[in-house]
Structure 1
Amino acid sequence: MPPLQLLLILLPLSASFLRLPAPAGAACSPKTCGDLNITYPFWLEEGGGRPPCGSPSFQLNCNGRHAFLSRSMFGRYQVARVFPENNSLVAVNHNLLVPPRAGCPPWWFNISLGLGLGPYTINRKNREVLVLYNCTEPQQVAPPGFNRTRCADGSFFRLGGEYGSHRELGVVPSACSLSVVPVLGFPDGDDDYVQSMRQGFLLEWTVPSDDCPECEASGGQCRYAGDGTGFSCGCAGVAHREKCGELTKIN
């Protein structure tokens, strides 16, 4: 066959290979969003009708600079840092990052409710900021242990101890609503409670399987099964149940 004719036959074939879709495993490989590395169990929401790479609870969306938990109520939670070695992350409620009106953030949000009933728990190593707000009766004097905020809404704040210790407080005014905000901490004597809240708080998560170390040791990548509900180990584009090299594969 003349070389020119052979070349004309091979060109369409090579072009078709270039258009082949990437293996399914490539779409679920680790990603980055800004300075954040996104690895198992988290996965990045992408368009194009691609199948999910994991549990909806660990789905993140990226605005080009920051990653946010896709499944939360009452606001967006930005993932600032992730510590995969101990299953924890630092999250910031996006309501606190929006320039507040008159220097006052919205007190109404409840972080524990906003996270829903997912795999996340608020670490008890956090401290807590307590806010009394929306008082239906004017409080002429700050309640014991509280200080008046700089806001014009008649609210009060208190820098508390370990997260959850507010349950040991005495009676708070029944005419006021109470908001409890976990924070990483605050300098002694510092009353910049808003800045403390903007630094975020520590969350822990649980995963449905602890097989990831064994999978990675075998040269695989930790992922979820195709339906996003169970663990799988990605090995050169093939999903195994626990680790690479085993006979059992996941269809």
Structure 2
Amino acid sequence: MCMAFEVTGAGRGGRWVISCDHATNLVPPSVNGGDLGLPAADMARHISHDVGALGVARALGGALEAPVIGSRFSRLVIDPNRGEEDPTLLMRLYDGSVIPANRHAGAAERARRLELFHRPYHAALARLMAARTGPVLVAVHSFTPRLAGRPPRPWQIGILSAADRRLSEALMAQLRDADFAAWVARVSGAPLVIGDNQPYSGHLPGDSIDRHALRQGHLNTLIEIRNDLIADPADQRAWGERLAPLLRRALGQVTADPVAQA
């Protein structure tokens, strides 16, 4: 059986927990022999995983001395950032591509994938959160510069939040720091544009932030980076290392904790 998750830096202490729900395009052998029936080009793009997000999450975790949990299965196998009752939990069509191995997946296959992949991932994330006093969850994702048939997306980074916007609002203020804005403009070739609940709106009931932070009152934020900016490991490390001090300062503002700002 495929391990459903991987934790980097499990022994790291402190309040931060970094998650990467859509870390990989891996299809375990137990799912249609390890092949969803999609061409390699589709498995390399955003419909299968969040391109570049895991590298950013690991760099961020290293800089914050925080554990990083990433999924070990493609979002097309079953989406760990969806609640168990969400109709998009097991996608049959995504951004213009039909997923052949999911077309006829019924209730029994859905239940099997939940048990093998979705639930073990969430159990591991819950353990990481429970091991800390006042844990802070940072979910790292990426988004495509353009969906099929849609206009280009201008944001280099989006910060998503739902009922609890404390950390997200403080982080957005930090992202407007002149040095960070100038760096983003340099690496992207355009002035910094921050998406407040863009390119998506908030969170869905039962998603990872809802399940592991909102329901317990834990501080949280979800960071989305445009995937053309984090396509290679050097860029992933750069974004993670640049974001870490901004997150520390944002947490210090929310908690009035000078240690968090250090």
TM over 0.5: no
Bigger relative contact order, structure 1 or 2, given CA contacts below 8 A and separation 6+? 2
- Pair member with larger Rg: 1
Question: TM-score normalized by structure 1?
Answer: 0.24
What is the TM-score normalised by the length of structure 2? Answer: 0.23
